[in-house]
Amino acid sequence: MKVGKLIHLKEFLEDAKNGNVDIGEFTAKVFSETKKIQEKFAPFITINDSIGELKKGRIFPLPISVKDCICTKGIKTTAGSKILDSYMPPFDATSVSKVKENGGFVLGKTAQDEFGFGTFSTNCAYSVPKNPYDRERSCGGSSGGAACITAAATFPHVAIAESTGGSITAPAAFTGTVGLTPTYGRISRYGLIDYSNSMDKIGVIGKEVFDAALLFSVISGYDPLDSTSSKVETKDFTRFIEKDIKGMKVGIPKEYFEGIDEKIAKNIMERAASLESLGAELVDISLPLTKFSLPSYYLIAMSEASTNLARYSGLRYGLQENVSGNFSEYFSDIREKGFGKEAKRRIMLGTYARAAGFREAYYIKALKVRQLIINEFKNAFGKVDVLLAPSMPITAPKFSEIENLTPLQIYNIDKLTTAPNMAGIPTISVPAGTVSGLPVGVQFMANYFDEEKLISVASAIQK
């Protein structure tokens, strides 16, 4: 089926700059189209109804959708959870302020798994986004709404998404879009609702590599409001599109091809061959610690999540009720009503993993494994420029199939994205054709702050 429509942003932005776009007409069209897409695929929790005055800037007048875990001044922000029902942030996240300063506007807040807890955007307190390729299938998660609107949009648009363990790569792969997860600390987390703060990264999803590179250029850079923000200046990443990749060393880590759908693996290797024909050198690599990334990722993620969710007591923000009983009773009652099943599961497992007596065996051990995985990547990037792997082991599953999976089976689907995410290295997922009519993604990983290599190699694949 035909999905969305391809509009080259570069030309559109030039037209707008030259005064050839009627802004009133354009925005009216954007919102009427968004309404139609929402009815069909449900990518949004909230659609913005007042965009205000637009500034003239690099991305004027681009509509930007924002994942619902990112704060937007005066627009409801729930992180996909009932516990934040009706929360209205009094401030913008830094990434959102940068969009506005550069002439973009917030189109709406996209659907996601509650707090990012999921791979299919089915752990949602509000709408569950449907895949534009087949409405009976998932868009992936947890940034499912972001990928859904990106694929379905019939107008120029780019999405701000977020990944902790694969939440940009999974939905990008399942919807045939481009997802860029930057180096940890490269985009400010100020105004991002924490899932697992040592791994959370804001990133972008676009139809084309250019779109992702453009928005990344606009929203990245040092921010004194985020103590983990890297003191690395942003640059114009669109300059690295279609840069010659002759001589680039592309590592093929064999562990990323084990247990992968054969047809997917074949698609990915065809992409590798096309890079070779452009002059890249393919290098066989082994990353034996990959298999330990999944359990250690989930231990760290749940441990951090369980402490981060402690602030939702029904007293400060979000869901509130008439206070009754003592604090413990009120606290338990509101959390029972406000959190979904997966959030409760993670609070319990995370609390257990870092409790006295278990901490050394689980949480601390997972941190040690994480350091070893970081060392393994550093070692690999001493030999190659980028690593190439499938984005996901499967194509978008049907909702009816997801219903029958156990939590452990669902966690296991993240096995190709947990290692780079816990190491905090940048990755990009690019469309790599289809298998049985469904999109497949190829992911590239690079060393810290080497996003430009990802953009060059991804644009070579796109071409």
Interface residue with ligand GLN, options 146, 300, 301, 387 (CB under 6 A): 301
Q: Which residues of 353-382 are buried (b: 16+ CB within 10 A; e: fewer)?
A: bbeeeeeeebbebbeebbeebbebbeebbe
CB closer to ligand GLN out of 193 and 275: 193
Query: Taking the complex as a whole, how short is the minimal distance between the CB of residue 195 and ligand GLN, in angstroms?
Result: 6
Interface residue with ligand GLN, options 195, 237, 330, 377 (CB under 6 A): 195
The torsion angle over the Cα atoms of residues 274, 462, 456 and 154, rounded to 10 degrees, is -170
- 95 forms part of the interface with ligand GLN (CB under 6 A): no
Longest dimension (CA), the chain: 70
Displacement of CA 94 from its chain's centroid (Å): 17
Asked if 454 contacts 185 with a C-beta cutoff of 8 angstroms, the reply is: no
- 459 forms part of the interface with ligand GLN (CB under 6 A): no
- 184 forms part of the interface with ligand GLN (CB under 6 A): no
Interface residue with ligand GLN, options 43, 89, 118, 203 (CB under 6 A): 118
Contacting range for ligand GLN; rule: CB under 6 A; set: 54-62, 112-120, 151-159, 440-448: 112-120
Q: How far apart are CA 221 and CA 47, in angstroms?
A: 28
- 164 forms part of the interface with ligand GLN (CB under 6 A): yes
Interface residue with ligand GLN, options 192, 414, 443, 459 (CB under 6 A): 414
Alpha-carbon torsion (27, 31, 32, 36), positive or negative: positive
Cα–Cα distance list, 323 to 73, 86, 201 (Å): 28, 18, 36
Catalytically active residues, by annotation: 67, 142, 167
**What is the DSSP secondary structure assignment for residue 224, as one 8-state letter?**
T
CB closer to ligand GLN out of 34 and 122: 122
Interface residue with ligand GLN, options 163, 177, 188, 303 (CB under 6 A): 163
**What is the DSSP secondary structure assignment for residue 288, as one 8-state letter?**
G
Residue 63, beta-bridge partner list: 105
- 117 forms part of the interface with ligand GLN (CB under 6 A): yes
Q: How far apart are CA 57 and CA 282, in angstroms?
A: 41
Residue 187, beta-bridge partner list: 220
Query: Taking the complex as a whole, how short is the minimal distance between the CB of residue 277 and ligand GLN, in angstroms?
Result: 34
Interface residue with ligand GLN, options 4, 80, 104, 116 (CB under 6 A): 116
Residues in 215-274 that interact with ligand GLN by CB under 6 A: none
CB closer to ligand GLN out of 356 and 408: 408
Binding site for ligand GLN (CB under 6 A): 116-119, 142, 163-167, 195, 301, 414
